[in-house]
Amino acid sequence: MTPRTLFAKIWDAHVVHPLPDGPELLYVDLHLVHEVTSPQAFEGLRLAGRRVRRPELTVATADHNVPTGDRALPIADALAARQVGALATNAREFGIELFDLASPHQGIVHVIGPELGLTQPGMVIVCGDSHTSTHGAFGALAFGIGTSEVEHVLATQCLVVMRPKTMEVRFEGAAASGVTAKDLILALIGRIGTAGATGHVIEYTGEAIRRLSMEGRMTVCNMSIEAGARAGMIAPDDTTFTYLAGRPRAPEGERLTRAVARWRRLKSDDGATYDTRVTVDAASVAPQVTWGTNPGMVADITARVPDPAGFASAGERQAVERALAYMDLRPGTPLEGLPIDRVFLGSCTNARIEDLRSAAGVVRGRRVAAGVRALVVPGSQQVKAQAEAEGLDRVFREAGFEWRNSGCSMCLGMNPDILASGERCAATSNRNFEGRQGRGGRTHLMSPAMAAAAGIAGHLVDIRTWA
Amino acid sequence: MTPFVRHAGRVAALPRVNVDTDQIVPKQFLKRIERTGFAPVLFHDWRYGADGSPDPTFELNQPAAAGASILLAGANFGCGSSREHAVWALREYGFRAVIAESFADIFYANCCQNGLLAVRLVTGETRELFARHTRAAGRYDVVVDLEAQTVVDDAGFRAAFSIAPYHREMLLSGLDEIGRTLLEDAHIAAYERDRDEGRGKGEGW
């Protein structure tokens, strides 16, 4: 048999039927739904008199627009309240399980899927959210879709998709101390660009990936979309199976044993070929921090703000000039030492328990710098409860951080958590686009430990030399 | 969905690369539960100053861009968030086609679902279109023809573009994709029987 990639094995197993003119009808095992990209899809079903084909393969939560303050209070923003209300109505009407704001399992959709054990190897998983690529960390094919496609999946449990190309990204060697999953993925995006993997599904391989925990792998796969990839994935191994065992929705006992035996075959065969291959020397990756207005505008923390004149094309030069003007940065300024106003520890990229432990380790016994406002937003209510059981909330609070309920929060600022114009933020999230965290807000993406340290120091620091 | 066959219209030029969907429709406007109401907020933070008045330097606010229905933009247009609101906003504003060197995958798929034709041209061709647009002081019209797969102007510009046959058919006919897929119900049901009994072609994974 021809050697196949991990991607091909999952894809081939989900083709319901080839369609004329090239695309294939692909079956979806798990459809995750949230309040922002689904109301128009449910309305479409209603108008056409259609039902949800497999409500039991569909799971909903409210995360994007929800306030992260006191959960006992009603949502003050009337439009946000209406959107969250619509999700509840739709879930009830169409028979879909919903983890609402009162649920102990509520959280960012890409945090709760894995946490509940809903996300499993070999699945096709979709959600009306580009960061659905996160779930690929389990050896699933997971990708974001638009609202029309959400409606399509609700109605048919299938999607019409063109087979994407494949790209292997191999991280060779082990990452150095202080260098995290976030740094690996940012370094990759810096190298191949925000459109570097357009049209491709990335499979991450190599020693540095194998050494990552499931949470680290999720961070890497999460930002695949930031390199333009359709999805990112990592072959499951014992790290994956150990993570899954005992999760509420994961198989148990004999069923788990049988599942693991199947899942072990979910890896690219020797000799399988990819359309594109990229190799990164993980040992040479330094802590990364973005300086511009897309995740590809990134550099080592030891670097300086680049000079637009150093870029090859006129388009790039113009984009860099525009980015530096927006970010209020001058070429040649060292990134280390750049003063910040805010810290955001959160998002589907970096708000899991290991992220919070890593950040708490940095802030323990210290105080947030004068004039800096720092926010910790756990990725889910389960992460929050776990952190509280470990006393991390106290560590953060005593250091002057605000301790919040879970949600997307300041990652996209479509809730009360936003930057004021001109504020500079050390953020653990995934996008530094203009206005993403609030109009005029300036975002620098980095790892949780780096963001936490920046909050204490009051400026960007190199976590390897900072004490 | 409104079919797209051939469209003649005014070009608005947005010579920026990596225009992300957060710029096309900023997050504060994603709380609507309707598919409509997004035209007024298209490119909001670029289009309006902090005081809410139109920014005269923004490309779409140029008098020559009034009534534009074809957007010419830099590479990797529509990157970032999957929000289909970006496509709804472009359509509602009056755009029928977007021309760029490349598009982000999810945005491209969303265009196909909404009768917005995303035309990929090579670098030299988009550069030429930008140049002609500048020379005409923004009063520049082209014809985008999906049947012929060409973009032409009346002064000798002509570029052919490629598009997957499936997407071409979908746009030409204004296909209801869900209705189309439901015709495959027998195949879906057969797949589901095998899948649910754990004997699918995926050996159960």
Mean pLDDT of residues grouped by 10 in chain A (467 residues)? Answer: 95 95 96 98 97 98 94 92 97 98 97 98 98 98 98 98 98 97 98 98 98 98 98 98 98 96 97 98 98 98 97 91 98 98 98 98 98 98 98 98 96 91 98 96 98 98 92
Cβ distance of A413 and B164 shorter than 8 Å:
no
The answer for residues whose C-beta is within 8 angstroms of residue A205's C-beta and 6 or more apart is: A168, A169, A170, A171, A234, A235, A268
Read off the DSSP letter of residue B32: -
Residues of A327-366 as b/e, b for ≥16 C-beta within 10 angstroms?
Answer: bebeeeeebbebebbbbbbbbbbbbbbbbbbbbbebbeeb
Rounded Cα distance between A237 and A217, Å, is 12
Mutate to test the interface with B, among A77, A156, A165 (most CBs of B within 10 A): A156
Residues in B closer than 8 angstroms to A156, CB to CB, are 178, 181-182, 188
Cross-chain Cβ contact B202/A14 below 8 Å: yes
Which one of A83, A228, A440 has the shortest CB-CB distance to B31?
Answer: A83
Mutation choice for B interface testing from A34, A36, A222 by most B CBs within 10 A: A36
List, in sequence order, the alpha helices (H) in B2-118. 21-24, 44-47, 85-93, 105-113
CB contact under 8 A, A23 and B102: no
Whether A265 and B110 lie within 8 Å, measured CB to CB: no
Among B81, B171, B172, the strongest candidate for a mutation testing the A interface, having the largest count of A CBs within 10 A, is B81
**d(CA A70, nearest CA chain B) in Å:** 21
pLDDT given at position A451:
98
CA distance B114 to chain A (A): 8
| Euclidean distance between CA atoms A365 and A74, whole angstroms | 35
Question: Residue B201: pLDDT above 80?
Answer: no
Give the global pTM: 0.97
- Tell me what pLDDT residue A467 has: 72
pLDDT surpassing 80 at residue B200:
no
How many contacts does A have with B, using Cβ atoms within 8 A?
Answer: 208
Give contacts of B35 with chain A, Cβ < 8 Å.
40, 43, 147
CB contact under 8 A, B205 and A13: yes
pLDDT at B205: 54
Integer Cα distance of A91 and A64 in angstroms: 17
Start-to-end CA span in chain B (Å):
36
* Residues of A with Cβ-Cβ distance to B192 under 8 angstroms: 27, 54, 157
CA of A213 vs chain B CAs: smallest distance (Å): 22
Q: Which residues of A touch B82 (CB under 8 A)?
A: 37, 128-130, 144-146
Q: Measured between beta carbons, which residues in chain A are less than 8 angstroms from residue B102? A: 195, 198
Identify which of A83, A194, A230 has the shortest CB distance to residue B18: A194
Query: Which residue from B28, B114, B188 is facing A148, i.e. has the nearest CB?
Result: B114
Nearest Cα of chain A lies from the Cα of B97 at a distance, in angstroms, of 18
Interface predicted TM-score (ipTM) of this complex, two decimals? 0.96
From the list A13, A146, A152, the residue facing B200 with the nearest CB is A13
3-state class (DSSP) for residue A274 = coil
B195 pLDDT above the threshold of 60 = yes
What pLDDT is attached to residue B196? 87
* Bridging pattern class, strands B97-100 and B117-120: parallel
Residue in chain A closest to B181 (alpha carbons) equals A156
Q: In the structure encoding, which two tokens stand for residue A304, read together?
A: 């300086």
Distance CA A139, CA B15 (A): 39
By CA distance, what is A321's nearest residue in B? B16
Query: Residue B198: which pLDDT band, with cuts at 50, 70 and 90?
Result: confident
Contact across the interface for A198 and B87, Cβ inside 8 Å: no
Which residue from A minimizes the CA distance to B202? Answer: A13
Residue A140, classed as helix, strand or coil, is coil
Q: What is the pLDDT of residues B119-173, one digit of tens each?
A: 999 999 999 999 999 999 999 999 999 999 999 999 999 999 999 999 999 999 9
With cut-offs at 50, 70 and 90, classify the pLDDT of residue B1.
confident
DSSP percent split of chain A into helix, strand, coil, nearest 5:
35, 20, 45
Does A195 contact B18 at a Cβ distance shorter than 8 Å? Answer: yes
Cross-chain residue pair B181–A147, CB shorter than 8 Å = no
Structure tokens at A203: 């499979």
CA atoms within 13 A on the CB side of A453: 23
Q: pLDDT value at position A151? A: 98
A80, A195, A433 ranked by CB distance to B23: nearest:
A433
